[in-house]
């Protein structure tokens, strides 16, 4: 038995419950969690924006220590510190063959396979294949990555989603160049990672935008040079801050049509807008045919930062050891497992940066 946060049904209140967690079978790994980040994607799973079989144990951004391995597992061993990879690639599908593992067709297959049971015997599914809102979890061996040395285990949890996503949005998707201006929409966990990544890339002006004025200090500590409270004229304010042209790059971390539209309107002619936020399928974004031609901008989606976690995790670890990247600086609340429902409420209200469950 292990303690976990259970989503009994879509849009149902979260429950703290004991679950029956099996020993790892062939190709599986059991992990004792050290920390787990509370990500907006977990909220999207709970409210049905993203599909997830239920009942489920949510949480996909985590790090911990291997306690047992099943037959055939050789990449990790009991006692190893690891980071969870919620989107492990298969290595053989069309997109993996194109060296685009973030688009792997089987990356989320684990989310649809029961991994544990409720005390009354019902199947439980792992949120995004990970189920890290629990004292322990069992995942496929390809869903764990050895943690490079010199990275605190609790901070490493954020590498599994927010930091990989934010870093990749800047370095792989938008390809921010030294001296360019970057506007970041949404100062939550991913947005703070984007700001830090833009600073590492050598961006000149880094403009943070959020509905909450209280997040200004958090954004500036991450590396923002300017802070703009979200309003109807946000795109005009960003233009005024960038010589009347607009930002070279805008990164949208909210996932709303209105914010995507504002991010697009905030970039210069020929600029790049990268959308990281996950929105609803019925939330439509509109552009005129003329403006697409006239402005010559690029609008692109970004899945998991267009990252290959096995390749990028050591790079991030190097930035942490050198003091350039501070995952702990993104955390505004260190909480217990029982506080996850309140952390969801804070996300809905737009409060704070990243909440981190520490076990």
Per-residue model confidence (pLDDT) at position 320: 97
**Which pair of tokens denotes residue 70?**
């099943």
190-225 burial, b if ≥16 CB within 10 A, otherwise e? bbbbbbbbbbbbebebbbbbbeeeebbebbeebbbb
∠ Cα 43 31 107 (to 5°): 55
What is the rounded CA–CA span in Å between residue 284 and residue 226? 29
Q: How many CA atoms lie within 13 A of 236 on its CB side?
A: 3
Q: What percent of the chain has pLDDT over 90?
A: 97
Per-residue model confidence (pLDDT) at position 317: 96
How many helices (H) and strands (E) the chain has is answered by 11, 18
What is the rounded CA–CA span in Å between residue 101 and residue 86? 12
208-258 pLDDT tens trace: 999 999 999 999 999 999 999 999 999 999 999 999 999 999 999 999 999
What DSSP element (H or E) covers 146? strand 144-146
Per-residue model confidence (pLDDT) at position 340: 97
Residue for token digits 């991030």? Answer: 316
- For residue 185, what are the β-bridge partners? 209, 252
Q: Are 45 and 128 in contact (CB under 8 A)?
A: yes
Average pLDDT, the chain: 96
24-36 pLDDT tens trace: 999 999 999 999 9
**Which pair of tokens denotes residue 343?**
């952390």
Per-residue model confidence (pLDDT) at position 163: 97
What is the rounded CA–CA span in Å between residue 59 and residue 43? 10
**What is the dihedral sign for C-alpha 45, 50, 55, 60?**
negative
Instruction: Please name which of 300, 301, 320, 82 lies closest in space to residue 196, comparing C-alpha atoms.
Output: 320
Per-residue model confidence (pLDDT) at position 158: 96
DSSP line for 16-76: EEEEB-PPP-TTEEEEEEEEEEE-HHHHHHHTTSS---SSEE---EEEEEEEEE-TT--S-
Per-residue model confidence (pLDDT) at position 161: 95
Q: What percent of the chain has pLDDT over 70?
A: 100
If one compares 350 and 235, the residue with the highest pLDDT of the two is 235
161-212 pLDDT tens trace: 999 999 999 999 999 999 999 999 999 999 999 999 999 999 999 999 999 9
Q: List, edge to edge, every strand of the sheet that includes 298-301.
A: 226-229, 206-210, 182-185, 247-252, 267-275, 298-301
Per-residue model confidence (pLDDT) at position 22: 94
């Amino acid at each position: 038995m292990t303690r976990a946060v259970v989503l009994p049904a879509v849009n149902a209140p979260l429950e703290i419950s004991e679950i029956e967690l099996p020993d790892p079978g062939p190709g599986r790994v059991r992990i004792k969690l050290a920390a787990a980040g509370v990500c907006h994607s977990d909220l999207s799973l709970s409210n049905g924006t993203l599909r997830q079989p239920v009942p489920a144990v949510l949480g996909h951004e985590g790090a911990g220590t291997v306690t047992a391995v099943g037959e055939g597992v050789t990449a990790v061993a009991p006692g190893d510190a690891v980071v969870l990879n919620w989107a492990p690639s298969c290595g053989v599908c069309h997109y993996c063959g194109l060296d685009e593992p973030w688009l792997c067709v089987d990356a989320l297959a684990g989310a649809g396979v029961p991994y544990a049971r409720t005390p009354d015997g019902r199947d439980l599914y792992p949120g995004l294949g990970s189920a890290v809102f629990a004292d322990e979890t069992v995942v496929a061996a390809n869903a764990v990555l050895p943690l490079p040395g010199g990275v605190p285990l609790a901070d490493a949890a954020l590498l599994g989603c927010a930091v990989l996503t934010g870093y990749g949005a800047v370095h792989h998707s938008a390809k921010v160049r030294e001296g360019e201006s970057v506007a970041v929409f949404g100062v939550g966990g991913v947005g703070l990672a984007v700001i830090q990544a833009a600073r590492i890339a050598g961006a000149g002006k880094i403009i943070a935008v959020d509905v909450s004025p209280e997040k200004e200090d958090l954004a500036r500590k991450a590396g923002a040079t300017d802070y703009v409270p979200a309003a109807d004229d946000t795109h005009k304010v960003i233009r005024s801050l960038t010589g009347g042209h607009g930002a070279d790059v805008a990164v949208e971390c909210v996932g709303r049509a209105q914010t995507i539209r504002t991010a697009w309107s905030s970039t210069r002619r020929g600029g790049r807008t990268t959308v990281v936020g996950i929105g609803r399928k019925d939330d439509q974004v509109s552009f005129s045919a003329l403006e697409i031609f006239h402005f010559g901008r690029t609008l692109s989606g970004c899945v998991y930062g267009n990252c290959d976690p096995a390749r990028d995790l050591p790079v991030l670890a190097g930035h942490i050891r050198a003091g350039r990247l501070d995952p702990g600086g993104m955390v505004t609340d260190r909480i217990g497992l029982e506080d996850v429902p309140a952390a969801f409420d804070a996300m809905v209200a737009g409060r704070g940066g990243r909440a981190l469950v520490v076990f």
